[in-house]
């Protein structure tokens, strides 16, 4: 008499193959998730940098647009541009001009962008001994201004280390300013 034996379940080999397939699936999902998180972090840092650069450039260009053309002076200060000018603050038969306004980069006291190189600065606006920092992380030589006919072409370049990915991300904003005075 022969007994028919039917066994239920999986063999050890089948279980190991299933476990390997499952681990490979979870591993690939984890890699995709990490890659997505890195991309999101880099995009976020880039967005913040772009926003900071655009804000600083808007402030500068809005004010410089009203500059007295004869007072506009572009010089070089420590490898970065320096802009000096005056704007109208009133009118009494002729324009009344403000005291001097300066836009320049002041070197950072530390490694503000985290790239392990002390070469960045802060774009500041100074008038009457009052200084306002417009943005940080200006790269070496990353603030330029060049006359172009009746216009001035201004460029602002920022860079910051993305802490999650350890990648240096950058922003570059350019504008052309036409003086109205």
DSSP letters spanning 148-168: ETTEEEEEEEEEEEETTTTEE
pLDDT of residue 155: 95
With contact defined as beta carbons under 8 Å apart, do 104 and 80 qualify?
Answer: yes
Cα Dmax for the chain: 125
pLDDT of residue 6: 63
Length of the chain: 181
pLDDT of residue 86: 94
pLDDT of residue 98: 94
Instruction: Please state, in angstroms and rounded to a whole number, the distance separating the CA atoms of residues 133 and 56.
Output: 9
pTM over 0.85: no
pLDDT of residue 41: 67
Instruction: Give the SS3 label for residue 126.
Output: strand
Q: Are strands 88-91 and 95-97 parallel, antiparallel or unpaired?
A: antiparallel
Low-confidence ranges of the chain (pLDDT < 50): none
pLDDT of residue 131: 95
pLDDT of residue 175: 93
pLDDT of residue 26: 77
Q: Tell me how far CA of residue 114 lies from CA of 58, 110, 161, in angstroms.
A: 26, 9, 5
């Amino acid at each position: 008499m022969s007994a028919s034996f039917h066994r239920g379940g999986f063999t050890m080999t089948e279980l190991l193959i299933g476990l390997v397939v499952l681990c490979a699936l979870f591993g690939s999902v984890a890699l995709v998730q990490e890659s997505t998180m890195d991309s999101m972090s880099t995009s976020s840092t880039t967005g913040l940098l772009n926003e900071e650069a655009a804000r600083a450039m808007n402030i500068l260009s809005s004010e410089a647009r009203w500059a007295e053309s004869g007072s506009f002076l572009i010089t070089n200060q420590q490898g970065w541009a320096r802009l000096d000018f005056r704007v109208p603050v009133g009118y009494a038969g002729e324009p009344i001009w403000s005291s001097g306004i300066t836009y320049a980069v002041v070197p950072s006291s530390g490694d503000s962008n985290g790239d392990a190189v002390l070469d960045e600065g802060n774009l500041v606006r100074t008038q009457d001994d009052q200084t306002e920092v417009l943005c940080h992380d200006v790269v070496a030589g990353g603030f330029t201004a060049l006359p172009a006919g009746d216009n001035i072409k201004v460029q602002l370049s920022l860079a910051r280390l993305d802490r999650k990915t350890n990648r240096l991300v950058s922003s570059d904003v350019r504008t052309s300013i036409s003086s109205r005075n």
